[in-house]
Structure 1
Amino acid sequence: MAPLKLNSQNLSQIATAGESQVKVPTYARGGAVKEGIVHIGVGGFHRAHLAVYVDKLMQNHGVNDYAICGVGLQPFDVTMRDVLQAQDGLYTVIERSAKGSFANVVGSINSFLFAPDDREAVIAKMAHPDTHIVSLTITESGYYYNENTHQLQSEHPDIQFDLDPANASSPRTTFGFLYAALARRHQQGLNPFTVMSCDNMQKNGSITRHMLESFARLRNPELAKWISEQGHFPNAMVDRITPQTAPADKTALADNFGIEDSWPVVTEPFMQWVIEDRFSDGRPPFEKVGVQVVSNVHDVEQFEKHKLRLLNGSHSAIGYPGQLAGFKYVHEVMEHPVFRKFVWQMMQEESKPNLPDIPGVNIDEYCQTLMERFSNPTIMDQLPRVCLNASGKIPQFIMPSIAEAIWVTGPFRRLCFVAAAWFHYIKGVDDNGNSFKVEDPMIEELQAKAHAGGTDPAAILSIKNLFGDDLRSDKRFMQQITIALEEISRDGILKTLPKYVD
């Protein structure tokens, strides 16, 4: 039997068509629900995380006023627009683990707006009284945040364009759209919507607030004051490993579940979301579907530190050295006994010691769970995905652990190895001489520094919006990262790695 095309008309048949039963939405959609959430940046992670939580609220708890309107701001979002429109907003989440594969059709994305087609429609949607939350997965570079000065990159051409009042009706950046919609709500006497970052950044809500208020002050100090006094930007910690969808995933979905889906999402069973209970215009009952809603930012920060330093830091330790060594997938790196020891020892001896205790959380069990998740061979998590946009990751995932180890005179040589591996990775050639594409918003500057510096890390460390003076001025750090970069450049990853394993 041929697979069924995923759309609303075929849902009842899809539920029983494949070898295994598929969960499908049975709740009302379309005009029968209100779209209380507008989400900017509909990619794999959003569709495996926030959209899944909302789907559970709609399916299991009758919540019908927080369906999602997806928004794409970038030209490449046109593919997502076309897929979702053809499938009535439906898509499949495939969970894979040692227990097998399970498929669930998600229907919480009720509509999709492609900003290059109609920027006014996006502004109007955010400003609509039914919109209570505007959520974001725009990656680190979408925040225009200077890691060193902690200020808005106001000189960036896109920000400059959006700051020009002449361009008020045709913004380019997330902040341009948020400002325009909030200005309209202010004029209409509405509450500001909550701006809810779901990006994998420490203090994501606080950074979002600071960047938007900075933008607004440059446009209209009065509106900036209203946003500051009335707006809410909850901090959150998000977690679910979501690899890029491969053609083989679509084929397996068709063969095993009888579904023809142009862009399914593959992910792991594990998912976690810790969010601060700070909303300016109401929120769904997230706690009913397993979200950890906490009372203050401090609670979020504790979970955040554990996740960024242990999960994301370890992903960096797997990704950059792993790709240089010629591996393709995360689980392949974890199958290498020396790599596996390295990751565990880095977590236990260098990342973990400076992390806070969280009541009810066993940090060693968390580390063990991470090792199991990294080793899951069924989700086929590709290293290039883990390595994407490192200029926004290494300063958050690796350098803070090094900085704290410097402060307490603790060990950090393995962390230095990871940073040095990234410095070498920037050149885009693996240890076998094969070229690969390095995807990073700062790639031109990074590669220029990497080639100019050679085996001296000082050139890359001179990029002030990535690295602070406390690192550059520490002799022990400079010595260890220089040694690591020299060894990796001379001998390659697999010959150098055993020197960093006890």
Structure 2
Amino acid sequence: MKNLNREFNNSVNNLPIKVVQFGEGNFLRAFVDYAFQVLNDEVGFNAGVAVVQPIEKGMVSLLNEQDGLYTLFTKGIKDGAEVQEKILVKNIIKGIDPYKDFKAFLALAKEKELEFVISNTTEAGISFDENDTQEMQPPNSFPGKLTLFLHERFQYFKRSKDSGLTVIPCELINYNADTLKTIILKYISLWGLSGDFKHWVLNACTFHNTLVDRIVPGYPKDDIEEYHGQLNYKDRLIVSAEAFFLWVIEGDAYLKEKLPFHKTDLDVRIVPDMQPYRTRKVRILNGAHTAMVPLGLLYGNETVKDTVDDSFTGTFIHSLIFEEVIPTLEMDKRELEDFAKDVLDRFRNPFIKHQLSSIALNSISKFKVRVLPSLLEYVQLNKRLPLKMVFAFACLIRFYQGQWKGVDLPLNDDAAIIDNFKKLWDLPNLSNTVHQVLGNTYYWDTDLNNVDGLSEAIELAINHLEANGVEEGFTKFVDSYK
């Protein structure tokens, strides 16, 4: 079987570079590069991508060996049916390692048709490094590299406003573009760059906050022969992803015109404010994930799919989302319910095995961000407790005891949190344990004992858990409120 490259594939490499992309990893290739490939194929967008390796060790050399080509396999569940697709992505024109060829990196800034800067350098990538200098080739940080890149373009095109770039970071932090711009301005000040350059960055360039959503397991090394069996070439950069795709970008009508995704079937939403979409994702998708982990593990499930497929835990999670979480959100109810249905389809994806134990990491902090706001909002709106979220909360607290029915539980959290729970579970009675857990403002940023009836409900739920197990315990817990 021959290796994948443009000679073998008989494809040309003549697209103009419209996108500079910081990052060559699985996510960007399965998400952003795929999206621009769809734009090229369906709208004639004619955009080539130049990929910049953001850290010293990376995959640019392998990408160049395959002339920027790779195969994306998408698999998932849609409306209860399995969907699969494979596509050859061929819009990457070149890959550049700025640690080996800094001049080639700066030369990208001089590309006349360049319009967009995309990045995914991990959540830690958008950070300020006080040790970065203008003379470094390159600076350590991604924002430092981008500052030099923008300065090179500013000088080469003689401050032309038309040469400004549209910067769309995809790192998984809130307000990612705002944060990136703030750090760039900090470097401009630190390095003593001109006021004219600062003005150009602020007025010629635009920075757009984003929300990205797609599960990308990446290179399917355990099943690579099966994947290669569907191809007539050897591809060392195969990437697998779920079928679901959502990209929310803050922008106006002008950005929508520049990026005409509305002319494709891709779910790319250019909106004035992406925060409602972020809240929707955190509360529904992430919230359901977090709520199901202790519940599912105590019940005996191993994976997310096990949990949503089971007649009890699946119904529990479905009801928690539709009856308790969605009513607390301000977006259109139909849109929220459609998103929730997609989430449950994603959880059922047979091609992605999400072990509950592997997503139990930092469950306390996750519960605070993902579930607790829905619980508190529900209480405020309805003047009563959301019993499924409360029971899930009880399961979480019981989970942090560390054992269930003589078996060690997969606690994976800060050592101080685990040690503190051990001490709390050694208290002489359950009421004290629950009171101190709920009163720990380090965990929750507030004293949850002040939520009317919550402490008593958690204690009651844990007692039913201990006496009757998860399913019967939940039934008896709910019955006590009838």
Query: What's the TM-score, normalizing by structure 1?
Result: 0.72
Cα 1:382/1:433, change in 2 over 3 Å: closer
Equivalences for residues 321-332 of structure 1 within 5 A? 329-332=303-306
1:290 aligned to which of 251, 265, 276:
265
1:38 equivalent in structure 2: 20
Residue 7 of structure 1: CA displacement?
Answer: 2.4
Q: Secondary structure at the match of 1:270?
A: coil
1:139 aligned to which of 107, 117, 122:
122
Instruction: After superposing the two structures, state which structure 1 stretch, 373-382 or 284-293, moved more.
Output: 284-293
Residue 179 of structure 1: CA displacement?
Answer: 1.9
Equivalences for residues 2-401 of structure 1 within 5 A? 3-11=1-9, 28-29=12-13, 32-64=14-46, 66-75=47-56, 77-78=57-58, 80-97=59-76, 98-99=81-82, 101-118=84-101, 121-126=104-109, 128-144=111-127, 159-162=129-132, 165=133, 168-188=136-156, 189-190=159-160, 191-213=163-185, 216-217=188-189, 219-220=191-192, 222=195, 223-278=197-252, 283-291=258-266, 296-298=271-273, 300-318=274-292, 329-358=303-332, 361-381=334-354, 397-401=370-374
* Partners of 1:35 and 1:69 within 8 A in 2: yes
* Residue identity in the other structure for 1:462: Y
* Partners of 2:34 and 2:89 within 8 A in 1: yes
Residue 196 of structure 1: CA displacement?
Answer: 0.4
Distance 2:395 2:180 in 1: 30
* Residue identity in the other structure for 1:251: E
Residue 253 of structure 1: CA displacement?
Answer: 0.7
Deviations 1:357-385 (A, max 9, x none): 339x4432332232122112134455577
* Partners of 1:94 and 1:265 within 8 A in 2: yes
Residue 270 of structure 1: CA displacement?
Answer: 2.8
* Partners of 1:127 and 1:185 within 8 A in 2: yes
Distance 2:60 2:440 in 1: 38
Residue 198 of structure 1: CA displacement?
Answer: 2.4
Distance 1:404 1:257 in 2: 51
2:450 equivalent in structure 1: 475
2:442 aligned to which of 453, 458, 462:
462
Distance 1:161 1:303 in 2: 36
Cα 1:293/1:52, change in 2 over 3 Å: closer
**Long gaps (5+) in structure 1:** 13-25, 145-157
* Residue identity in the other structure for 1:364: E
Q: Secondary structure at the match of 2:277?
A: helix
Deviations 1:312-363 (A, max 9, x none): 322333457657877554323322333312321221233212212339x443
* Residue identity in the other structure for 2:215: I
Cα 1:320/1:287, change in 2 over 3 Å: farther
* Partners of 2:438 and 2:455 within 8 A in 1: no
Cα 1:248/1:407, change in 2 over 3 Å: same
Distance 2:403 2:234 in 1: 37
Residue 123 of structure 1: CA displacement?
Answer: 4.7
Q: Secondary structure at the match of 1:37?
A: strand
Cα 1:293/1:99, change in 2 over 3 Å: closer
* Partners of 1:453 and 1:459 within 8 A in 2: no
Cα 1:169/1:400, change in 2 over 3 Å: farther
* Residue identity in the other structure for 2:145: F
Question: Which protein, 1 or 2, shows the higher relative CO under an 8 Å CA cutoff with sep ≥ 6?
Answer: 1
* Partners of 2:30 and 2:239 within 8 A in 1: yes
Higher Cα Rg, which structure: 2
Identity across the alignment (%)? 22
Distance 2:190 2:115 in 1: 25
Instruction: After superposing the two structures, state which structure 1 stretch, 205-214 or 194-203, moved more.
Output: 205-214
Cα 1:410/1:54, change in 2 over 3 Å: farther
- CA RMSD across the alignment: 4.4
Residue 296 of structure 1: CA displacement?
Answer: 4.2
* Partners of 1:334 and 1:374 within 8 A in 2: yes
Deviations 1:76-115 (A, max 9, x none): x52x334323322222111224445332111122222334
**Long gaps (5+) in structure 2:** 425-435
Q: Secondary structure at the match of 2:207?
A: coil
* Residue identity in the other structure for 2:217: P
Residue 44 of structure 1: CA displacement?
Answer: 2.7
Residue 168 of structure 1: CA displacement?
Answer: 4.5
Cα 1:367/1:284, change in 2 over 3 Å: closer
Cα 1:4/1:324, change in 2 over 3 Å: farther
Q: Secondary structure at the match of 2:451?
A: helix
Q: Secondary structure at the match of 2:320?
A: helix
Cα 1:289/1:179, change in 2 over 3 Å: same
Residue 55 of structure 1: CA displacement?
Answer: 0.9
Q: Secondary structure at the match of 1:160?
A: coil
**Number of equivalent positions:** 450
Deviations 1:245-292 (A, max 9, x none): 432331211223444322322223332323333578994433222356
Deviations 1:106-128 (A, max 9, x none): 11222223344445644553564
